[in-house]
Amino acid sequence: MPSPANILRNLLAEDRLYVMPCCYDALSAKLIEQAGFDLTFMSGFAASASRIGEPDLGLMSYGEVLDQARNISDAIGIPLIADGDTGYGNAMNVRRTVTGLARAGAAAVMIEDQVAPKRCGHTPGKAVVGRDEAFDRIRAANDAKEAGADILILARTDARHEHGISEAIERAARFKELGADILFVEALKTREEKTQVCRELPGPKMVNIVEGGETPVLSHKELQEIGFSIAAYPLTLMASAMRAMVATLEKLRLDEDRTPDLMDFAELRDRIGFNEYYEVSSRYETSRRD
């Protein structure tokens, strides 16, 4: 069987756009795979909200991120891109982060150039480190890959916010020279900026679509025509789930009929994996006795 990283490499070799809903736990990742998507991303924003109930402001530790990524990758067969934030320290920490996430089953890891503690790319107050430190992070990530970590590097820059599109593109171009496999310029504000990024930067590029965020929402067809390889939707699934849960909780509080809003119990069990478990366990006599 090819490794998750090799599966992702083969996907990126195709001249097409991959629509990538982002997950936050093993169940959401399973639903993404069941819906027929080719890959997923563990959104730091959504994972922080789901795991510790806190905003994506650098509060979730490396160990918690590693554990979350391992649980997700164990539950699915499609490639997982993990959010490695700023690498959780200096260049040596970046190497450890990349190596650890590769061992946890991630196909790629995102490393960014924000000041630690980082912030969500579509919220106020974010800042980036200087060029030298930013480049060291990607150099260290690539060194981990060359030392044996079977993983791709997704290099992200948030320089557009403070320093403009030209600085962001220059940083991303250098990231590519240092070994990054996928480039991501966060929080592009116009279609023209998206076009410029794809025109001026080599290799696969990712775009981040946050409904209600700074980046204009374009159709999949438009994003492919512009030249992106991956369109990430980091909060679409969580926002949908949260809205449904809030509405259902209100109906429960008011003792109103909520059954039309609920997934059928048989489908719920099937999607979680009960039926598969029963099928496999039926091969074993001790399991049948249990």
Per-residue pLDDT tens over the stretch 191-229: 999 999 999 999 999 999 999 888 889 999 999 999 999
Listed by start position, the domains of the chain span 4-236, 243-289
* b/e sequence 241-257, b meaning 16+ C-beta within 10 Å: beeeeeeeeeeeeeeee
Residue 287 has pLDDT above 70, yes or no: no
Rounded mean pLDDT of the chain?
Answer: 95
Cα–Cα distance between 128 and 201 in angstroms, integer?
A: 20
What value does the mean pLDDT take over residues 12-22?
A: 97
Per-residue pLDDT tens over the stretch 64-121: 999 999 999 999 999 999 999 999 999 999 999 999 999 999 999 999 999 987 766 5
Q: Which CATH superfamily is domain 4-236 in?
A: Phosphoenolpyruvate-binding domains (3.20.20.60)
* b/e sequence 46-59, b meaning 16+ C-beta within 10 Å: bbbbbbeeeebebe
Confidence class for position 49, pLDDT limits 50, 70, 90: very high
Give a three-class secondary structure readout of 70-84: HHHHHHCCCCEEEEC
Cα–Cα distance between 143 and 106 in angstroms, integer?
A: 17
